[in-house]
Amino acid sequence: MGEIKSGEKTRVLVVGATGYLGKRIVRACLAEGHETYVLQRPEIGLDIEKVQLLFSFKKLGARLVEASFSDHQSLVSAVKLVDVVVSAMSGVHFRSHNILVQLKLVEAIKEAGNVKRFLPSEFGMDPPRMGHALPPGRETFDQKMEVRHAIEAAGIPYTYVVGACFAAYFAGNLSQMETLLPPKKKANIYGDGNVKVVFADEDDIARYTAKTMDDSRTVNKTVYIRPQDNVLTQNELIKIWETLTKNELEKTNIAARDFLANIEHLEIPHQAGIGHFYHIFYEGCLTDHEVGEDEEASSLYPDVKYKRMDDYLRMFL
């Protein structure tokens, strides 16, 4: 499993390519000049949006490869075509929760023996730091750890890309739950609102991912997405919006015990969401540890002009 030779095009297979982050990773890989393959699964059936998305990738220059998670040999044949496999399988409870399906991918990569890098589905909180997480949301971290252990036990070179809140879910709504739009009059503040959080535009997360996959500096490492200008408290994020709109919101501070009260009576996806919000906004799990420049994406790739949150919020004006 040697390194990718410089000057040669890196061949990448994207799994979960029609998903929320996956489609962005496909476009970022094409923009980066990678020879991009997209896994086309027969399970797609009559899902017209996904079918059309796949063929839009083909138009952009990606190659479609048919394989199924229920057919091991088809997966082996697919990964034999490439140097790098990147997975963007969903790991959130309110969509589909498919993290452990990646174990089949690990088996195929192990058998194929040619893959020089595997990037499993990560892109959020750093799982080894989340052993204390609240159930049922901790299932996401436990399963990601199970996948990591399988990758490392198989001796597959890896890169784990972690560390930021997706802007569309956490910034546009000023981190309010149950909406994706900014509030007009009132905002809930978690605790004192002064815990540092990392926000990143999903297109930037995809661009960093496409850059890291054939970078020798990031082999067998975790890369943290923590662009300095996007490390903000919830209060700072709301202040940006208030400045843009010239309108002050009425704020309600929610104590941690009130935020977690009655959690067990809620639906499972909602419980998972509350747990994740708690770790991010009350505990500060994205920023409570140091990250060196050699492991931080915006330092490694300064050529990516990442979107600042004032710019991001302007689209809601």
The amino acid at 304: V
Distance in Å from the first CA to the final CA of the chain: 50
Pairwise CA distance, residues 161 & 209, whole Å: 7
- The span from the CA of 271 to the CA of 179, in Å, is 16
Mean pLDDT score of the chain: 95
pLDDT of residue 44: 85
Query: What's the pLDDT at 96?
Result: 67
Is residue 296 predicted with pLDDT exceeding 70? Answer: yes
Q: How far is CA 196 from CA 205, 208, 289, in A?
A: 19, 22, 11
C-alpha–C-alpha distance, residues 99 and 16, integer Å:
11
Instruction: Check: CB of residue 15 under 8 Å from CB of residue 39.
Output: yes
Where does the chain show beta strands of DSSP type E?
Answer: 11-15, 35-40, 63-66, 84-87, 117-119, 159-162, 165-166, 186-190, 196-200, 221-224, 231-233, 250-254
pLDDT at 45: 84
Residue 1's pLDDT is: 58
Q: Cα–Cα distance between 169 and 173 in angstroms, integer?
A: 7
DSSP secondary structure string, 50-76? HHHHHHHHHHHT-EEEE--TT-HHHHH
Please state, in angstroms and rounded to a whole number, the distance separating the CA atoms of residues 250 and 228.
28
pLDDT digits (tens, 9 = 90+) for 213-242: 999 999 999 999 999 999 999 999 999 999
Contact 116, 11 (CB under 8 A): no
CA pair distance 103, 69, nearest whole angstrom = 10
Structure tokens at 13: 């297979």
DSSP state for residue 134 in the 8-state scheme: P
Work out whether the CA dihedral 22, 23, 25, 29 comes out positive or negative: positive
- Inform me whether the pLDDT recorded for 3 exceeds 90: no
List pLDDT tens digits, range 252-283.
999 999 999 999 999 999 999 999 999 999 99
CB atoms within 10 A of CB 213: 27
Task: Compute the average pLDDT of residues 32-57.
Answer: 94
Q: Which residues are catalytic?
A: 144
Summarize pLDDT for 98-136 with one digit per residue, the tens.
Answer: 899 999 999 999 999 999 999 999 999 999 999 999 999
Q: Is the pLDDT of residue 2 over 80?
A: no
43: pLDDT confidence band, cut at 50, 70 and 90?
confident
Using one digit for the tens of pLDDT, what is the confidence trace for 164-218? Answer: 999 999 999 999 999 999 999 999 999 999 999 999 999 999 999 999 999 999 9
Write the CB contacts of 189 (distance below 8 Å, at least 6 apart in sequence): 234, 235, 238, 251, 252, 253, 254
